[in-house]
Amino acid sequence: MAVSPNTTSYNFCTWVLANHWLGATNPQRALITIVQSAALAGTTVTDNQWNNFLRATGLWYQYYTSFLAQTTTPETLPTGIVQGDLLYGSAANTLSRLAKSATANSFLKNSGTSNNPAWSTISSSVLSDVTAWTDYGGTSTYVGFSSFTFQTIRYYIIGKTMWFIFLISGTSNSTSFTFTLPFNSVSTNPQSRGWCESRDAGTPTNGGLWNVPQSSNVVQVYPSPVNLNWTASGTKFGMGQGFVALA
């Protein structure tokens, strides 16, 4: 492969003069003159000049191996390398082998000695974008109803966030309306709350409100932000959705 001599012309000329000037053939002498002139003039040797020289002599390979031997330090590869292993710099000019991991959900982390790479793992539940909706309507604990027309609660979890939807309707027997979720909210966040559709004693309100206190799995539902008490008779209805940061 022809290599442009413009960045190595001085070293190349020095090497040729020191090793091959005596007894040099006419093509060798001609190229030495060309390279010297080009180096002094700040120009490059043309591809044709270079390739003609390569065809006429066998000096380039000798120069290449000699020059590399003087300017580079070959690294010794670690032994026992197999498919899947990784090489990393463990010190200056030092290569080390990191064996491949056979554990599912492995990833590289700078947790090795002196911040060297090491394998770590992450759980499948965290990697999953979304879990399937889980029906919780028949498991939840309800307050404020003597019977139900609708008793629907579903949830799913992404990481440390639980999303939920609810549609609950039935006969009211108290001024309260609560139901439970499967996991507690985190204690360090403010209360989680949001708007919902509500009907008190069968009459639509101006907008209901749901609320989850800190460190709790109880969802409190109110007929409106200013009226926190339900009628203890008639049809009580609440429908909404929201999310809670988990502990």
* pLDDT digit string, tens, across residues 57-91: 555 555 555 555 555 455 677 888 888 888 888 88
Sign of the dihedral through C-alpha 221, 225, 227, 233 = negative
Q: What per-residue confidence (pLDDT) applies to 67? A: 52
Q: Which residue has 């609810």 as its token pair?
A: 166
Exposed / middle / buried, residue 50 (Cβ in 10 Å: 0-12, 13-18, 19+): buried
Closest CA relative to residue 113, chosen from 131, 96, 128, 134:
96
How far is it, in rounded angstroms, from Cα 32 to Cα 140?
A: 91
Residues 26 and 67: beta-carbon distance below 8 Å: no
pLDDT at 170 over 60: yes
Delimit the CATH 2.60.90 region(s) of the chain.
134-245
How far is it, in rounded angstroms, from Cα 71 to Cα 153?
A: 72
CATH number listed for the domain at residues 134-245: 2.60.90
Considering only residues 198 and 100, tell me which one the structure prediction assigns the higher pLDDT: 198
Please report which confidence band the pLDDT of residue 130 belongs to, taking 50, 70 and 90 as the band edges.
low
Considering only residues 156 and 36, tell me which one the structure prediction assigns the higher pLDDT: 156
**Alpha-carbon separation of residue 67 from 15, 73, 96, 153, 238 (angstroms):** 9, 12, 27, 76, 83
Q: What per-residue confidence (pLDDT) applies to 22? A: 46
How far is it, in rounded angstroms, from Cα 171 to Cα 201?
A: 9
Read off the DSSP letter of residue 185.
Answer: B
Considering only residues 188 and 51, tell me which one the structure prediction assigns the higher pLDDT: 188
| Tokens, residue 129 | 């974008």
